[in-house]
Structure 1
Amino acid sequence: MPVNINDVMQLFCHLCEKKGMKAAIKHSGRGALVVGATAFVGGLMGGPPGVAVGGAVGGLLGAWMSAGQFKPVAQILLELPPAEQQKLYDEAIGILRCLDWTDIVQLTALVMGNARLQHELIAVLRNYFTNELRADIQCGE
């Protein structure tokens, strides 16, 4: 049976929800901008010591801004553009191709009943989120 991209995304979403997976997208560019801006302002106001103080304050502010911004992985998956969903699909299809299933319910049951398949699919998600989205992943299990 041809595997539908939407079916694979639904499977990933179900797996993520069962595992309680959340991701925080790193905003290193925004943090660097805050550090640079506060260091600049500190330098204008206090000279060389102001640069140091401004950089330290900016670093703390940047860390505070990005703390606690975890979103459910399933939500992020559904918001991905089609080209990004295709990348995930291409990775997952190598794992799912050997399965014999007729609909998404049966596919989900097959995967949820097999710990090895779950582990392999979660590894695909972790790899994608870490390398492509530069995100930190947390599991609620």
Structure 2
Amino acid sequence: MIAGGCALIGGLLGGPPGIAVGGAVGGLMGCWATAGEFRPLPQVLMELPPSQQKKLTASVMAILSSLDWTDVAQVVALVMGNATLQQQVTAALLNYVTKELRGEVRYGA
């Protein structure tokens, strides 16, 4: 269920490259701490203003720019089939959330 939600969020964050982001971090579960309230990471990402969405998308596109892909399905398959790329995309997302948004991500089921 999380993977589909993240892919949808990814689409909001930048079209086809954004969907790749969502697919790559589909297994990532997190919470965002604001005023003692925890929110799922996908919800936080959906609520980002356009300027922050663009900044996050740019950081992930820096990783994906070295790949040769022509459509969403292809880039998702490339990322999901490569543990190093998955780690790089996940790290970019976590870095953005912790440094830019000053959030806390917790892993859990």
- Give TM-score, length-normalised by structure 1: 0.60
Is residue 2:7 matched to residue 1:7? no
Identity score, percent: 37
Larger RCO, structures 1/2 (Cα 8 Å, 6+ apart): 1
In the alignment, is residue 97 of structure 1 matched against residue 105 of structure 2?
no
Q: Give the ranges of 4+ consecutive aligned residues of structure 1 lying more than 6 Å apart after TM superposition.
A: none
- CA distance in structure 2 between the partners assigned to 1:109 and 1:87 by the alignment: 24
What are structure 1's unaligned runs of at least 5 residues? 28-65
For normalisation by structure 2, the TM-score amounts to 0.75
1:88-139 per-position Cα deviation (integer Å, ceiling 9, x unaligned): 1221121111111111111111000011111111111111100111111123
Whole-Å Cα distance in 1 between the matches of residues 43 and 72 of structure 2?
Answer: 19
Partner of 1:24: 32
Kept after mapping to 1: 8 A contact 2:25/2:86: no
Structure with higher helix content:
1
| Distance (Å, rounded) in 2 between the aligned partners of 1:104 and 1:75 | 22
- Aligned residues between the structures: 97
